[in-house]
């Protein structure tokens, strides 16, 4: 995790305890429904993303992968990230070169992030207008694989401080 500013924030939004295990169980069920398997490495990477208060770099996931602190083989983590992204469990934020667990759930969808350049927070919001955009793409015979909108600025907490 990158260093954070010392502006007052109302707590990180990483999941812990039962909220975390519930989210993982849900992901497992969703995978089964899709005929996919949430293998141990996939589950571990998702767990790390869900528990993190903000975007995490692949490098940090590799370092934190082993519960005992031992690093994972990078391809293990990259393959798991690829799977999670494809299944809509995680998003890659290009401009930060980092990953976040999807907070909006369910389907693979276009994502929009409000990124705070001060504290590094990245909040996922419903991208308005994405349906029209997708319809336009479809009209052009284009098959969208992923679509992520990244807005940079300052979160409410950082502006208030
Ligand atoms: Zn999402
Ligand atoms: Zn901020
Ligand atoms: Zn700040």
Each residue's pLDDT tens digit, 64-123: 998 776 778 999 999 999 999 988 899 999 999 999 999 876 666 788 999 999 999 999
**Cα(106) to centroid(ligand 2), Å:** 27
132/60: higher pLDDT: 60
What digits encode the pLDDT tens for the residues 7-26?
887 766 789 999 999 999 99
In order, the DSSP letters of 39-99 are: -HHHHHHHHHHHHSSS-B-HHHHHHH-STTSPPPPHHHHHHHHHHHHHTTSEEEEGGGTEE
Going from the Cα of 12 to the center of ligand 2, the distance in angstroms, rounded, reads 11
Q: Separation of 109 CA from ligand 1 center, angstroms?
A: 6
Calpha distance 65→47 (Å, rounded): 10
Point out the ligand nearest to the CA of residue 115.
2
Q: Is 150 helix (H, G, I), strand (E, B) or coil?
A: strand
Could you tell me which residues are beta bridge partners of residue 129? Answer: none
Cα 105 from Cα 15, distance rounded (Å):
14
Is the predicted pLDDT of residue 27 greater than 60, yes or no? yes
CA of 89 to the centre of ligand 2 (A): 24
* Bridge partners, residue 116, by sequence: 153
Q: Is residue 143 predicted with pLDDT exceeding 90? A: no
Q: Quote the pLDDT of residue 155.
A: 93
pTM given for the model? 0.86
- Ligand closest to the CA atom of residue 147: 1
CA 158 to centroid of ligand 3, rounded, Å: 4
């Amino acid at each position: 995790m990158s260093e954070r500013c010392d502006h007052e924030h109302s707590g990180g939004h990483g999941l812990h305890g039962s909220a975390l295990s519930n989210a993982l169980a849900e992901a497992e069920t969703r995978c089964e429904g899709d005929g996919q398997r949430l293998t141990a490495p996939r589950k571990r990477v998702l767990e790390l993303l869900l528990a993190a208060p903000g975007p995490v770099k692949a490098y940090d996931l590799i370092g934190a992968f082993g519960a005992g602190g031992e690093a994972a083989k990078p391809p293990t983590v990259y393959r798991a990230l690829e799977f999670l992204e494809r299944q809509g469990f995680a998003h890659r934020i290009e401009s930060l070169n980092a990953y976040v667990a999807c907070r909006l759930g369910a389907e693979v969808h276009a994502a929009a992030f409000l990124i705070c350049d001060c504290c590094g927070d990245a909040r996922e919001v419903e991208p308005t207008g994405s349906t029209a955009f997708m319809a336009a793409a479809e009209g052009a015979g284009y098959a969208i694989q992923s679509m992520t909108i990244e807005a940079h600025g300052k979160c409410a907490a950082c502006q208030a401080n």
